[in-house]
Amino acid sequence: MGDKGSEKSNTVKVAVLVSGGGTNLQAMIDQHAAGKLPSCEFCAVISSKKDAYALTRAKAAGIKAYTVDKKSCAGQKDFEDKITDILKKTRAEVIVLAGFMCILSEEFVKAYPERIINVHPALIPSFCGKGYYGLKVHEEALKYGVKVTGATVHFVNEIPDGGRIIEQKAVRVHEGDTPEKLQKRVMRQAEWKILPAALEKVCREIAERRN
């Protein structure tokens, strides 16, 4: 990945993979604009859905936006080949899954060891793995009756939500919470904070190792 690396040796090129609203993408864009992600340089936003609002957010921030519509691809390999082409073209060095609702194959993931990071809306190892994504995670947390949930940022490996944890933050469940209310609180209090912070940490370490 990033065959020649980043042009500026103190920054690392980051591609963000999305599928929906992109509030986590927005949190990273805002932190970057505020000068809090000095080791990151966004080189691409890639959406698996052509109507994802995250694409509008990317364009508004001046980041190159691409769609690889999963439904129009011939299969998983075709989908991943198209994503890989963009990653190579934009010389991405780190990939962030920010509300990316597609599973990546073992082959894809193994090509980027400890270079793909994901935000998950629960405290792993609770409410995670295959089938746990988006609102479903909060529905299950409420059904179980946990009093504390939260968010996790982790490296992606071949096990769904199974890679090394980078950062976690706990969030209280309130009496009368709905999945939607809980999702918003987890985003506001945890995801939008720990994802940009974890990204900066990963990029800073890569930049330091390079120099």
98 binding ligand GAR? (CB under 6 A):
yes
Residue found under tokens 């746990």: 132
Taking CB atoms, the residue at the shortest distance from ligand GAR is 99
**Residue 43 or 137 having the CB closest to ligand GAR:** 137
Q: Please give the angle made by the CA atoms of 2, 112 and 133, to the nearest 5 degrees.
A: 120
Closer residue to ligand GAR, CB minimum distance, 2 or 121: 121
Binding-site string for ligand GAR from residue 18 to residue 57, where x marks contact by CB under 6 A and - marks none: --xxxxx-----------------------------x---
Three-state DSSP state, 30: helix
CB of 89 to ligand GAR, least distance (A): 24
Q: Which of residues 100-159 bind ligand GAR (CB under 6 A)?
A: 119-121, 133-134, 137
Q: How many CA atoms within 13 Å lie on the side-chain side of 174?
A: 11
- The count of chain residues that interact with ligand GAR, using the rule CB under 6 A, is 16
- Which helix (H) or strand (E) element contains residue 45? strand 40-47
Say which of 120, 138, 154, 174 is annotated catalytic: 120
| Long-range contacts from 131-137, C-beta under 8 angstroms, 24+ separation | 132/161, 133/101, 134/20, 134/99, 134/101, 134/183, 135/179, 135/180, 135/183
Query: Residue numbers of the site for ligand GAR (CB under 6 A)?
Result: 20-24, 54, 98-99, 119-121, 133-134, 137, 187, 191
Catalytic site positions: 120
